[in-house]
Amino acid sequence: MKRVLITGAAGFLGSHLCDRFIKDGCYVIGMDNLITGRITNLEHLFKHENFEFYHHDVSNFIHVPGELDYILHFASPASPIDYLKIPIQTLKVGSLGVHNCLGLAKAKNARMLIASTSEVYGDPEVHPQHEEYWGNVNPVGPRGVYDEAKRFQEAITMAYHNFHGVETRIVRIFNTYGPRMRLNDGRVLPAFIGQALRGQDLTVFGDGSQTRSFCFVDDLINGIVKLLESDYSKPVNIGNPSEITISQFAEEIISLTGTEQKVIYKDLPVDDPKQRKPDITKAKEILNWTPKVERSEGLKLTYEYFKSLTKEELFHTEHSNFDKFIIR
């Protein structure tokens, strides 16, 4: 039985990864400091004999007893609302946090995969974005704390791979959606659906011509697992290249929810990317991976999840049932 450590385990992607590795017969150790993660995302796993949870900040020294086969570093604020609110913690988890994880991987002779992001490309001057593009990032802008943390994370990971011989993998994640997203995390899909469910007009920043490409979470998790199990150590884009403008996406959400809200326009935030579309040639050729879930299907599943939320959750009241659980 393989033993897997997943940092950021209580987050959107981290919790889905925990599910996947438990399903695959692994012993999973989830780790999260719960700054942005929600313990309710893991509630269903707490009674599973092959799962344990550490309430810990990976920016501090990490001790995990026993052997480890894989480490997946997904701890990080991932939305503008979060990393603008806690910029120092964002930089620390992308520097000290990844350093601690890499040190643990070296000590345990474990293979490590880091969650990088399409944000390493910044506001791109190349379209679609391929892995050899170095990006157009403003290091001192408001988004720099996240973008540069991820770029540093990639650099130190490659350094450990080249200098210490640590087995490493780097996934550059493009816009992903699905159940367990937080309605108030500031990303466009939960923002639109939340506004529709609350009877509010949908807010588009800029003129709506900027584009995004949305990948359903199940497809992303499959791509991550394929990359982890591959022998390729350089960055790989994982995302859905089906591109759509934000204005078109707002209309899709209105049609999906059956609401009659208007679309209103506000100023575009500083350094907000104008285009996002992954070149997934490497993922196709090296991993034999392509996304399978059509956006219309994925949006229906995601909408059903958001409709199931309580009124408290729908109106942005953060809460946690963390104290109800025994943390091992």
What is the 8-class DSSP label of residue 278?
A: B
Q: Which residue has the tokens 């974005």?
A: 129
Q: Are the C-beta atoms of 72 and 2 separated by less than 8 Å?
A: no
Nearest-5° Cα angle at 39, 202 to 223: 70
Backbone angles phi, psi at 17, to 5 degrees: -65, -40
- How far is the C-alpha of 135 from the C-alpha of 131, rounded, in Å? 10
- How far is the C-alpha of 97 from the C-alpha of 103, rounded, in Å? 10
Q: Are the C-beta atoms of 277 and 243 separated by less than 8 Å?
A: yes
Helix (H, G, I), strand (E, B) or coil at 287: helix
Q: Quote the strand ranges of the chain, DSSP E.
A: 3-7, 27-32, 51-55, 70-73, 111-117, 168-173, 176-177, 202-205, 211-213, 215-216, 236-238, 243-245, 263-266
Q: What is the CA radius of gyration of the chain?
A: 19
Q: Active-site positions?
A: 146
Nearest-5° Cα angle at 71, 236 to 184: 75
